[in-house]
């Protein structure tokens, strides 16, 4: 059985490896596809983000409070060069018609102001406007808080008697971080990597035999059908593992070499991660 299995296994591998075009496409797909996809999606995301940043931010404001505080906030926003405020009696319609990217609704919440930003989730530019609006409101909040604290004779630092922070051993040693974050999506990567490369050969070794009329030839070999089947599965398994190694190597290289600017916040985390074998084993 063992001897027959090895001979058949070698025959299946030889049949695959000698098919230069298919084998080359297998290597290229495994090595190039993942980096291309990741780089492509990152570039697209960066392009969209840049587009949103460069776009003029047009907002409306619905002031339901009409107090001194709310007027202060409105004049703070009006003085900002990055946005333009449009008067609107029907902000929802203007938002739907894309005349504005969103609108701020000011309500009172006890002694404070409650500010809601209403935007259109079905529009990229409206959703993207959030990244411009939120910092402005936070900036105003910081200014107001600093004023309140100053009036009370307290400093920002005085409000935080204890400052807690963390530092990893890898940061101390100036090494890349090993994070369990990667464990979240690594199983999917492994699954795709296993299937991606070997799928074509799995088809070739099973349905392909019928297609090419070599099935009768294979069945006439003096070996049991179980041995023939196991040798085919083993050959596919070896190629799947090879595909996995290529994909993981390619993925690691991509995240290592890719410019940080392309990766965004989460990508930045991934870029500093090395995929250790201990992490791989933890998955299984």
- Total residues contacting other proteins by CB under 8 A comes to 18
Residue partners of 127: CB distance under 8 A and separation at least 6: 119, 120, 121
CB 267 within 8 A of CB 42: yes
Provide, rounded to whole angstroms, the least separation between the CB of residue 245 and other proteins. 23
| Binding flag, residue 107, other proteins (CB under 8 A) | no
Provide, rounded to whole angstroms, the least separation between the CB of residue 124 and other proteins. 50
Stretch that binds other proteins, among 15-23, 66-74, 177-185, 249-257 (CB under 8 A): 15-23
Provide, rounded to whole angstroms, the least separation between the CB of residue 97 and other proteins. 56
Stretch that binds other proteins, among 4-12, 62-70, 169-177, 247-255 (CB under 8 A): 4-12
CB 184 within 8 A of CB 281: no
| Binding flag, residue 18, other proteins (CB under 8 A) | yes
Extract the tokens encoding 275.
């995929």
Give the one residue of 14, 27, 154, 226 binding other proteins; rule: CB under 8 A.
14
Give the one residue of 143, 154, 221, 283 binding other proteins; rule: CB under 8 A.
221
| Binding flag, residue 4, other proteins (CB under 8 A) | yes
Tokens 């500093």 label which residue? 272
Alpha helices in the chain (DSSP H): 2-17, 20-54, 68-78, 91-96, 124-128, 130-152, 169-172, 181-205, 207-211, 215-219, 225-257, 260-271, 277-283
| Binding flag, residue 223, other proteins (CB under 8 A) | yes
Whole-angstrom Cα distance, residue 59 to residue 76?
Answer: 14
Is the dihedral angle over the CA atoms 252, 258, 262, 266 positive or is it negative? positive
Provide, rounded to whole angstroms, the least separation between the CB of residue 12 and other proteins. 10
Residue closer to other proteins by CB (options 217, 256) is: 217
Whole-angstrom Cα distance, residue 94 to residue 171?
Answer: 50
Stretch that binds other proteins, among 16-24, 27-35, 140-148, 192-200 (CB under 8 A): 16-24
Q: Reduced to 3 states, what is the DSSP secondary structure of residue 233?
A: helix
Whole-angstrom Cα distance, residue 219 to residue 203?
Answer: 17
Give the one residue of 217, 256, 260, 282 binding other proteins; rule: CB under 8 A.
217
Give the one residue of 212, 257, 276, 283 binding other proteins; rule: CB under 8 A.
212
Residue numbers of the site for other proteins (CB under 8 A)? Answer: 4, 7, 11, 14-16, 18-19, 212-214, 216-217, 219-223
């Amino acid at each position: 059985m063992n001897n027959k299995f090895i001979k058949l296994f070698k025959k299946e591998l030889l049949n695959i490896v000698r098919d230069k075009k298919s084998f080359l496409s297998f290597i290229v797909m495994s090595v190039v596809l993942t980096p291309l996809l990741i780089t492509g999606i990152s570039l697209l995301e960066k392009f969209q983000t840049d587009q949103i940043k460069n776009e003029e931010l047009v907002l409306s404001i619905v002031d339901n409070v009409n107090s001194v505080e709310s007027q202060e906030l409105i004049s703070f926003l009006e003085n900002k060069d990055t946005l333009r405020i449009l008067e609107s009696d029907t902000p929802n319609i203007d938002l739907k018609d894309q005349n504005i990217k969103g609108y701020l609704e000011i309500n009172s919440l006890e002694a404070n102001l409650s500010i809601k930003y209403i935007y259109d989730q079905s529009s990229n530019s409206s959703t993207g406007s959030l990244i411009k609006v939120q910092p402005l409101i936070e900036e105003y909040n910081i200014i107001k808080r600093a004023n309140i604290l100053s009036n009370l004779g307290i400093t920002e630092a005085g409000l935080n008697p204890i400052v807690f922070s963390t530092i990893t051993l890898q940061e101390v040693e100036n090494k890349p971080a090993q994070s369990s974050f990667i464990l979240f999506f690594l199983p999917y990567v492994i699954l795709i990597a296993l299937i991606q490369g070997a799928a074509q050969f799995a088809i070739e070794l099973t349905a392909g035999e019928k297609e090419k009329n070599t099935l009768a030839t294979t069945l006439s070999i003096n070996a049991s059908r179980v041995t023939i089947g196991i040798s085919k599965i083993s050959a596919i398994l070896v190629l799947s593992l090879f595909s996995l190694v290529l994909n993981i190597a390619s993925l690691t290289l991509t995240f290592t070499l890719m410019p940080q600017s392309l990766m965004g916040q989460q990508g930045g985390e991934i870029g500093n991660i090395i995929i250790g074998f201990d992490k791989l084993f933890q998955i299984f």
